[in-house]
């Protein structure tokens, strides 16, 4: 078990209009999605004592497929973001495409989508150890509204 500092963040930015098109997760994407997601969160998982290869089952992913949006370029998976209710979750970018603006595009898509659904108080949770994500969110209109120490692991 590891103690992890987790920030609850809320969006205080302007209205966002995203022009990118993402597709919903499909079971045919499972193995590729799983690999990219695990690779992206590997350092965080290892630093908190979690199994970096532990992942949702196909059945679990199928249950949330309507909330998981994937970006492809020429049939290559670039990244993904999950949105539900007023929450943004599991935003990640394929490591070979990181630091090229795709995280900002995925975040803009999520904010825009939730705003179009009439959501007012957009939120997300992020581990303090995930410094790049914290920085991305702060640069794009999110502010830390609460910080807790959580216990992760068995």
How many domains in the chain?
A: 1
Neighbouring residues of 134: CB distance < 8 A, sequence distance ≥ 6: 7, 126, 128
Query: Does the pLDDT value for residue 123 go beyond 70?
Result: yes
What's the predicted TM-score (pTM) here? 0.95
Tell me the CATH number at 85: 3.40.630.30
Question: Alpha carbon of 136 to those of 38, 91, 117: distances in Å?
Answer: 20, 11, 23
Give the domain extent around 31: 2-152
Q: pLDDT tens-digit profile of 61-87?
A: 999 999 999 999 999 999 999 999 999
Identify whether the C-beta of residue 142 lies closer than 8 Å to the C-beta of residue 12. Answer: yes
């Amino acid at each position: 078990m590891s103690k992890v500092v987790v920030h609850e963040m809320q969006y205080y930015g302007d209205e966002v209009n995203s022009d990118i098109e993402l597709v919903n997760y499909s079971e045919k994407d499972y193995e590729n999605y799983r690999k990219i997601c695990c690779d992206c969160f590997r350092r965080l998982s290892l630093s908190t004592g979690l199994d970096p290869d532990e992942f949702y089952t196909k059945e679990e992913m199928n249950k949330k497929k309507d909330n998981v949006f994937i970006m492809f370029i020429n049939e290559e998976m670039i990244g993904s973001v999950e949105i539900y209710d007023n929450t943004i979750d599991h935003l990640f970018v394929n490591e070979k495409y990181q630091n090229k603006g795709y995280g900002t595009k995925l975040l803009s898509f999520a904010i825009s989508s939730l705003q179009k659904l009439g959501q007012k108080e957009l939120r997300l949770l992020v581990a303090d150890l995930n410094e790049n994500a914290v920085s991305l969110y702060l640069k794009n209109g999110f502010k830390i509204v609460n910080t807790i120490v959580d216990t992760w692991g068995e």
